[in-house]
Amino acid sequence: MPTYLALLALAFLGQSFIPPVKCSSIPAQAQTIDQRSFNVLNATQPPTEFNAKSVFVPPGHTEESLKQRPFHVYDEEFLKIIGKAPTLTRIAHSPKDPLFHEAVVWSKETDEVFFVQNAGAKNASTGLNKSAIIEKISLADAAAVSDKSDAVGLVDVSTVLSSPMVINPNGGTNYRGQIIFTSEGQGNDKPPSLWLMNPQKPYNTTVLLNNYFGRQFNSLNDVAIHPKNKDIYFTDTIYGYVQDFRPAPGLQDQIYRFNPDTGAVTIAADGFDHPNGFTFSPDGEYAYVTDTGIDSGFFGLNFTRPASIYRFDVKKDGTLENRKTFAFVNSGAPDGIHCDSWGNVYAGCGDGIQVWNPSGKLIGKIYVGSTSANFNFAGKSRMVICAETDLYYATLAAAGNYVESEM
């Protein structure tokens, strides 16, 4: 290690010394990203040229090299999460139609993962004229090709014909052996709703909630079950309106809490631009909310608005308080959000899945180089990632924060 005087000499000569990041053995599919290498860049571009839509390539890397070893280690803590031999496999591709968008849910009973098409996407023609669809894969099929980097065509993606059909589903979670989907609604007469679906044929559905004291919700987005009180918390935002398949909003964007046993619906939190993803820490002590205020759909982007994750304390009575800014995302906006069983926080962002420790420190990324709106664990060591036109299966060491609900 150079002495202090040697460092001064290097500085005087216009050179800099960046000691290597201390990491133990790096897995074959991982690479270390030294943040000190881009603390000072030779040139930076103005916001009109480089912004949240851009993919940042650290010095010494290329977009291709970042994809070749997709598990990016920003801190040694990430090594525990990915384990000794993580893998990332592309298992499906759609040329234009964003078939792989949101509501990634593991059905423990069938060992399948469900997900949904993008509602309101122009390349899908979904939203007003036709509903987005629900799809699923078998995890056994995905695991069988996890030794490949690209296995498109080798894993069957099947359409789930829910009955009655869930209209423009977006968020989803396990609940009492079934799946709750948030529906964004369609036009004036098909209101945003909470739907309950049997994950096995005939995929029968029931509407649990479709109004707030007679008023239509705006466009329900995501949903999570508190691990202790088992109440249903969900976000409501304006994306159906700004994607031209819902009328102008009649409520502010906010988070709701629903007790299905008593029927009580209450406001859990407000004060957001566009509250989006929602999850709880494993112990239920914290709630995490993503705010995608940066993106107003067809009305465009405003880079001065939130691309943020907020953390709330969850009181014993289930109410949320003490909002804290947990993270601000450098690429795109954080959408879907989940915790692992250790309490680390994962969010789908503009370049893949970003991961923070419980204190809010970025410790790593599962890098795909494009927007990954949602993802989820499937028990231990398995993850499915929706990246709009691509679907990925990952293996790693961490386990998901699965909430068991009473039947």
Give me the pLDDT at residue 342, please. Answer: 98
Number of structural domains found in the chain: 1
Give me the pLDDT at residue 275, please. Answer: 98
Domain holding 142, by residue range, is: 30-36+58-399
Which pTM does this prediction carry? 0.93
Position 6 in a domain? no
Cα dist from 151 to 93, 111, 147, whole Å:
10, 20, 9
CATH at 211: 2.120.10.30
Position 12 in a domain? no
Order of strands across the sheet that contains 169-175: 169-175, 178-183, 193-197, 205-209
Give the residue ranges of the chain where pLDDT is below 70: 1-24, 405-407
Position 52 in a domain? no
Residue 213's Cβ-count burial label (10 Å; 0-12, 13-18, 19+) is exposed
Place of tokens 């705010």: 291
Give me the pLDDT at residue 404, please. Answer: 75
Position 42 in a domain? no
Position 49 in a domain? no
Q: Rg of the Cα trace of the chain? A: 21
Encode pLDDT of 332-390 as tens digits.
999 999 999 999 999 999 999 999 999 999 999 999 999 999 999 999 999 999 999 99
Position 13 in a domain? no
Position 309 in a domain? yes
Give me the pLDDT at residue 22, please. Answer: 52
Encode pLDDT of 104-142 as tens digits.
999 999 999 999 999 999 999 999 999 999 999 999 999
Position 110 in a domain? yes
User: Which tokens go with 215?
Assistant: 């008023």
Give me the pLDDT at residue 387, please. Answer: 98
